[in-house]
Every structure is written in C-alpha cells, then in structure tokens.
Structure 1
C-alpha cells in the first residue's frame, strides 16, 4: 500500500485541482505520484489526493473521506460507476465511439478514457497519474473486458505529446479502425498521435449539422482537421463542402473520411492552406457560403500567424461573417477553457457589431453527457458551441 504524505493546506480546497499556493510550504519537495493526506492548520483532515503537474495545478483531490484508501479498489469503484453511467451509449448500435471516463468529472483528475468499438484509449495527463498506471489497469480489468488497450502519455515539456508505440495490451487493432457516430462512419488511428482522427466531444454538433443545417447548403469547414464536420454536412445533403486546414495530412485524412461514408472526395473541395489566407482569398473572389463552421484550436501558430482563441476569436469570426450569405448560419465553436460561455457569446456579439449585421442564436452546446463535469471545476466544461444565423 502506498504511503500517504501529510501536507498542511491554508484552506480546504474548493476545486479538485490542487495548486501550490494552497499549501503552506508551496508543495516544495513533493514528487510526482506522491499520495497526499491534506490537513488544515488545526490538524483537521481535509482530503486525499496525489501530486501530478497539469495545467496550472500540481495535483488532484481524489476524496474527502478519511477512511477511503487510494488503491485498486478505489479506482475500480470509480471506473465501475463511470461505465455504468454510459450504458445507454454502449447499447446504441449507431454509435461506437465515446468517452467512458472524464477525469475529475468521474472522480480522478488527470485521466480520461475513450472507447472505440471495443478498444479503449487511456489518456494520462501527468507523470503523477501515470505512476498509478498498474493499479488503474488492474482495476479496469476487474470491471470490463477490452479487445485491446492503447494509451496516450500527454505530459512532457511545454505540454507536448510523448510519441510512443501507444499499444498497452490485448490485441492490436487493424487501422484504420472504423467507428460509428449516429450512423456516420469515421476512420480512427489509435496508434498515431495524441489526436486519433475524431474529436468525440463534438458528437451532438455533428448530428445537428447533418440533421438541421446542411441540406442544399454551400458549406465551409475551417480548421477542418480530418473533415468530420464536412462529412456530417455532406451526409446531410450539402450542395458542396469546402474543407480548409493548414496541415498537409488533412487532405488524405479528409478524403478517407468521405470515402468510407460512400462520398466521392472529388465531389468535395479540400484545401491545404492557412485559414486566414483563405478568408482573404474568399473575399477577393466574392465567395459566399450558407454554412460556415469555425472550430479553431485554442492556440495555433503558422509561419505568418499566431492565433489565441482568448484574444483573437472575435477577429476570426468577423472575417467569417464577411463570407457568410445573408440568412446563412455560422457554427462558432471553441474548446478554450480560459473563458466562459458568457464571454464567448460576447465575442460573437462584438464580431457581428463590427460587420454591421444582426444575428439570431439558433442553439447552444457544451460538452455531451459522456464528458461528465462537476460544478466546482468549471474549467472542465471547456466546450462552447453557439450556432447563429446572420440576419
């Protein structure tokens, strides 16, 4: 059994993310993976957690129950509860990819687990939680079976991804591994990098695009990655989709996604270019789109542009409005956790005022139900999607 290190805190944590300034000694000398027993300055028990450098924190609170031991049984119970809460998704024959464990939302900050048609991908966000790997895997084997397990070690200098073989145990998947989402097909590669081919948190948004907004529309999908939004739009009856992304691999990846859904990639437009350059080109050529999808990364850098969602989203949306047809729809999305939905809607309002147009909010989305969040860690509910009509 792991030894618990007693640490005195200034006040009881109000969030599961433990920060250095919460601790009397600033957390000095604590090693990654250290189990913590937190007490207040009067010696009263506050909680138990572990050391794992992530984001602006140095670890996570795991329990407020002094009698609870952080061991295989603890992890087993958390995993069991999480899997049971996703029963409806496991029973959905049209969806075979979703999140089964969402970090602090399911009780273990620093760990997420995604499901891909029988295979599981463990995402470890700090060396600290990775130190518990064997206990977590042992607990996982006790509550379910997997065709195979892959992992992503998402901790390194400056938050970069650690490249590795990624395979852990079971049988290796045949790639591409084709998964379903609301009846749409997507190619995934669990062994390729931190990003496996589809962002699972946008499931409901893709369905809305397909079912409500794409029919007979000219669609522009910016920062398109592997073209998942474009596939949804094409399956929804779009006249034509245009996918724009700076990454060279986006072309072949997007062609593959179209092909496995029975769509001829040649019938769609796939452009490898800086989105900011494309906006200028579209203005020069007087191109207009009926549906524009704007889902940039929180931070991106190209040869000529550095983009930060917190600072630059308003300007980006302003350019998108200029090439959106009157009566057209914009899917404005951000996964940046540093600002709220209220502030994001403020960005949208500013952008439309700059362009001199009014707008109507058609619907809003945050994280889907499998991306479970908790009220005392609002940063965990990072996704903000507002679908607006230009009027």
Structure 2
C-alpha cells in the first residue's frame, strides 16, 4: 500500500474526522494513478486513515476509512449508500417532493461523489478521475440498494477540473425529457442528459418554499441570474402580482417559459435575456422598483463586458439591488461560494447597506438532504439571507 506522511499540524484535524487531503498536508511522492488507495500515517508511521488519490480543486484526495482492516469493496459502498438513503427516508416517503439529493459526498462518507434522485431516475456526479475509477463497484452497490428506472452520470472533471460534456445516460429505460418532478407541490421540468445542469438547483428547496409561502404575495418580484426561473415560479405560485426573470443565457427564455407552463401559470411573466448588471442600470433609468429581489449569482461569471467574482463583487451587486428595492421590500441574497463564511456574508450585507437600515428576517444554509458534518462548516457552502430594506 502506498503511504504518505501527514504533517503534524494536520494530524489532529484528520483524527477528528476531517475528510479532505490537502496537498500541503502530506509529504512524499504522490500515488502513481488517480483512484489508488493510500495510507495516511503520522511522523512516527502510525496509521491514521485510508484515502483515495483524486485531484480536484479542493485537494488531492479524500479519506475513505479510519479502519486499517476495512476492505474497500461493493459491500463497503453498499453500507455507505444504505446509511445515506436512510437519512432521506422522509423524502422518499413524501408525496409532495420527488427530487432531492440522496448522497452528499464527504457528508455521507465519500468525498468527490454526489447522487441525486428525480422521481425514480438517478444522477451521479463524479468530481475527479480518482473517484470515477471506483465507478463499477459503486454502481453495483447502488443497484443493490434501490430500484433505478434509469441512471445518468456527469463527469465534472478533466485535466483542468472542468465538466466533460458527454452522453450522460448509463443504463435503464431512458426518460422522456423534460421530466416533470415535484418540490413542495411545485412542478419543475428537468433534463438529466443535457450537459452539466439539470434545470433546477436542488439545494434551494427550502428557499423557494419560503418565497412562495411567506414573501411573494402581492409583490412585484425580480429574479436575477434566473437560470430556468425556479424562484420566479415559486413567487408566481405564492401570489406575486408580477415576476421578472433576468439571465444573460439565451436558453433561459424557453427554459423559464417551460417552467411556468408545467405549473399552469398563465398570467404573463416578464423574461429578459440580458446581462443582470445592464438590467440594473435599465431599471434605475426607468424608475423601476421591486418588492422582492432574488440575487443568486454564480461564484464567478464572465460576459463580453462584465466579470463578476462573488468574493469581491457581491457588495456592489447588493448595492445595485438595494437601489431598485422598494421601502420595506425584501432582498433574498444567496451565495454558493464555499470560501465565503456566513459571518463574512453578513459583513458584505452591512458594507452594502452602509448607514441605511435593514433587518435580516431569515437565514438558510444547505437543506437536510445535502448532509454535512456540522463540525466542518466549510462544507456547508450555501448561505442565503432574507433582508428587509427599512428606508
């Protein structure tokens, strides 16, 4: 077995259960092939853990077990999957939600791998060539745990850590797309074989429900970076007088229209295919204001004229949103940047508002199906604040 020595300052962290292997944490030559298992030992050569080698932007691999006698085989993966699925049993039993995450990487004991459920169809996301080498065993274990209508996979890696575009169908009876799934009795059209995205971000389930149930009624709602318009659907179903969805991607128009159609929303809704920052300028110029504004930008985005980095530019984005939010209106500010802590995110809000008054009404992080170890909050990447403008 290949062995790597862990730096003394990381030993306690690994013993406490931290699953990620950082390159600077280990010394010695790396394993020769991705997917290869190796032992982590301390300076005295005492065994600490067994990990697999898999390069991605977070590190060089993940701890698999701290039991040196554990065999990594189909039975091992089956046990991990059974435990993860048991955690989501309430969602499997739900009659109102048929799309959710069933395995959340390191939170469920195996970093670099996530699995999502869409009404009997499954999508497996692979984040490194290392974990992908274990694909056959993991798929065998998965089939022993659940009945699968069809399985799709997404390889979110290449030599540069980017998504590999491919035919994502693996086995089963292919679905007819769009497949319509339910989330808290809202309907969403998804396509599991259309590149990196499916049509909905499942981690925002509770946020969409909050918008529909507590914030949308009688509002004029603006949804920026709207993707397929899921927040707009939630607002419309919650009684919003009008929704405006803004995204620079051309496909956002037909995809958002489709989401309204599968929810039988017939009242006209505005869909703008344009740069969000240009829309802010347009709205200010024309004196437009909104009672409810959703900001859910990617961590990094680039258009022909604009580059956005959430870690640097979020306060300015908030300032633009504040300018077109009505008094006592609500801004739903969201970031999926794992490098921004909740504390830092709240500081960004304070920076954007300056001396002006505001109140944080609700905070959200990942829902329960995106299970994370609460000892390591850095893996709880989602931060959402419902902010009331009071001036």
Please give the alpha-carbon distance, in whole angstroms, between the structure 1 residues aligned to 2:138 and 2:219.
47
- 1:17 has 2:20 as partner: yes
Please give the alpha-carbon distance, in whole angstroms, between the structure 2 residues aligned to 1:236 and 1:375.
32
Provide, for residues 291-326 of structure 1, a one-character-per-residue CA deviation record: whole Å limited to 9, x for no partner.
000000000000111100000000000000000000
* Cα pair 1:365 1:384 within 8 Å, conserved: yes
1:5 alignment partner in structure 2: 2
1:372 alignment partner in structure 2: 371
Q: Which runs of 5+ in 2 are unaligned?
A: none
- 1:337 has 2:338 as partner: yes
Provide, for residues 172-207 of structure 1, a one-character-per-residue CA deviation record: whole Å limited to 9, x for no partner.
011001000000000000000111000000000000
2:308 alignment partner in structure 1: 307
Hey, which bits of structure 1, 4+ residues long, moved more than 3 A?
A: 27-30
Structure 1 residue 73, shift from structure 2 partner: 1.2
2:317 alignment partner in structure 1: 316
2:246 alignment partner in structure 1: 244
* Cα pair 1:75 1:135 within 8 Å, conserved: yes
- 1:116 has 2:113 as partner: no
What TM-score, normalized to structure 2? 0.96
Alpha-carbon distance change, 245 to 185 in structure 1, aligned in 2, over 3 angstroms: same
Aligned-partner SS, 2:308: strand
Structure 1 residue 145, shift from structure 2 partner: 1.1
Please give the alpha-carbon distance, in whole angstroms, between the structure 1 residues aligned to 2:58 and 2:386.
31
What TM-score, normalized to structure 1? 0.96
2:229 alignment partner in structure 1: 227
Aligned-partner SS, 1:136: helix
Structure 1 residue 379, shift from structure 2 partner: 2.5
Aligned-partner SS, 1:158: coil
- 1:276 has 2:277 as partner: yes
Structure 1 residue 157, shift from structure 2 partner: 3.8
Alpha-carbon distance change, 54 to 378 in structure 1, aligned in 2, over 3 angstroms: farther
**Correspondences of 1:183-198 after superposition (within 5 Å):** 183-198=185-200
* Cα pair 1:179 1:188 within 8 Å, conserved: yes
Structure 1 residue 247, shift from structure 2 partner: 0.1
Please give the alpha-carbon distance, in whole angstroms, between the structure 2 residues aligned to 1:292 and 1:162.
34
Please give the alpha-carbon distance, in whole angstroms, between the structure 2 residues aligned to 1:28 and 1:45.
17
Please give the alpha-carbon distance, in whole angstroms, between the structure 1 residues aligned to 2:161 and 2:41.
30
* Cα pair 2:106 2:372 within 8 Å, conserved: yes
Please give the alpha-carbon distance, in whole angstroms, between the structure 2 residues aligned to 1:260 and 1:56.
38
Provide, for residues 246-267 of structure 1, a one-character-per-residue CA deviation record: whole Å limited to 9, x for no partner.
0000000000000010012x60
Provide, for residues 45-95 of structure 1, a one-character-per-residue CA deviation record: whole Å limited to 9, x for no partner.
100010011123000011111221211111110000000110000011010
Match for residue 167 of structure 2 among 161, 165, 173:
165
Aligned-partner SS, 1:267: coil
Matched pairs, number: 384
Please give the alpha-carbon distance, in whole angstroms, between the structure 2 residues aligned to 1:276 and 1:158.
29
**Which shifted more, 208-217 or 136-145?**
136-145
* Cα pair 1:16 1:376 within 8 Å, conserved: no
Please give the alpha-carbon distance, in whole angstroms, between the structure 2 residues aligned to 1:29 and 1:142.
31
Structure 1 residue 376, shift from structure 2 partner: 4.4
Q: Which runs of 5+ in 1 are unaligned?
A: none
1:88 alignment partner in structure 2: 90
Match for residue 47 of structure 2 among 25, 45, 48:
45
Please give the alpha-carbon distance, in whole angstroms, between the structure 2 residues aligned to 1:248 and 1:158.
26
